Amino acid sequence: MFEAAPDVLIVGAGPVGLFTALTLARQGVRVQIADSAFWTCAHSYALALHPRTLGLLKQAGVEPEIKRKSLLLNRIAFYDGSTRKAEIPLDEPLAVSRQDALESILEDALNHIGVRVQWRSEVSALWPENGQVRAKIDSFERESRGYAIAHEEWVVANCKELEVPWVIGADGYDSSVRRAIDAEFVQTGAPQYYAVFEFESDEPRCDELRVALGEDTTDALWPLPNGHWRWSFELPYYKAARQLAGPGYFLTSRLRDHDPKPFEIPVLEESTFRTLLALRAPWFKGDIRSITWRTVVRFEQRQASQYGAGRMWLAGDSAHLTGPVGVQSMNVGMQEGHDLAGIIAGGGNALKLQAYNDRWTGVWRQLHGLDKGVHPSMHANAWISDHVARILPCLPGYGNELVEVANHLAVTA
């Protein structure tokens, strides 16, 4: 049960929700976080923090711990078949840190100042009332059931209603907050499936993200902390044997609990992994010693028709989704959470909230390629000119920051 109604109820305890809560709490705002999951993710897809995001985490006091557990990347390299075609030096590094490690650091920082995530707590209804927001929250517990064969199920153990001045939805694709404000989730591009393999290898350590562009595929190789690697292979003609729960959700499971036999999915067999490597990245010569995690992920490109209404507002995946290589949705979502926290802590001025809506809608129109298209300059080589529309979503940042990174390839955004 919640001890008292907070100033802000945050729905969703992923990186965006946790960071937004930390930003609010550090400004003296009473905050409560509810998440229907049992605990933080054991595995997750998002893994890289942009330089601008690291700046926000520095303000929040957690950057040193994150960098200590991260691998810093200083370049992005692009390949076409066996040929290295281009590279971009980064003025400030990307920090490769698994989402679950980031979440644990943020949750620890919140615990330190007395804010604890209410796991297994689903916000099942939201509606405006008396100039505030009425929230219904169901809490779950394990219960033993069965007579001849005993088993355990998660059941609703408690239902509570409270009034709060503000609600922030950081609750992802199936956002209850987005539904409460009656916002559409408009599709801006075709869905993408990726086969993801994490593995140990004797490949020499590097400090760069490597992106391989095929005729109709964009694949990425990430070096990870502790001597591991991750390959993400796009599957352009893949049809899932069963429907995923939503974009960004794993075919094998959400992995907050366990990963049930992913090798039973043919595309995740080791033989398929080796075939994909030989066909799409013949330059990768490392030996595959052991595969430590594998899954299929679906990504969509979507944008909410509005970021909020009244006293309910969105940040992160509840407001937008995009492809995986640039890790844009999480990073930009944390920027949104920082902005929204500042507006609410300052009193929630209606004009500032409208400006928040307009600013981030514009950013995502750029990132989705709906506004301000990209084009090569007269100095770009032919390969860059031919692939510019596919290169831009792989780059970190947005707005002027994205333009500066793209300028290394003589590309203008």
- CA–CA separation, 19 vs 375, rounded Å? 35
In eight-state DSSP terms, residue 315 is: -
Domains of the chain from N-terminus onward: 8-47+101-184+305-367 (3.50.50.60), 191-300 (3.30.9.10)
Mean pLDDT of 209-223: 96
Residue (of 106, 104, 96) closest to 51 by Cα position:
96
Task: With both helix axes pointing from N to C terminus, report the angle between 350-367 and 328-345 in degrees, rounded to the nearest 10.
Answer: 170
Residue (of 228, 233, 325) closest to 276 by Cα position:
233
pLDDT tens readout for residues 36-79: 887 655 556 778 999 999 999 999 999 999 999 999 999 999 99
- CA–CA separation, 280 vs 233, rounded Å? 9
pLDDT tens readout for residues 331-349: 999 999 999 999 999 999 9
pLDDT tens readout for residues 263-296: 568 899 999 999 999 999 999 999 999 999 999 9
- Count CA within 13 A, CB hemisphere, residue 10: 31
Q: What is the per-residue pLDDT for 260?
A: 43
Strands 8-11 and 31-34: parallel
Which residues does residue 302 pair with via DSSP β-bridges, in sequence order? 187, 321
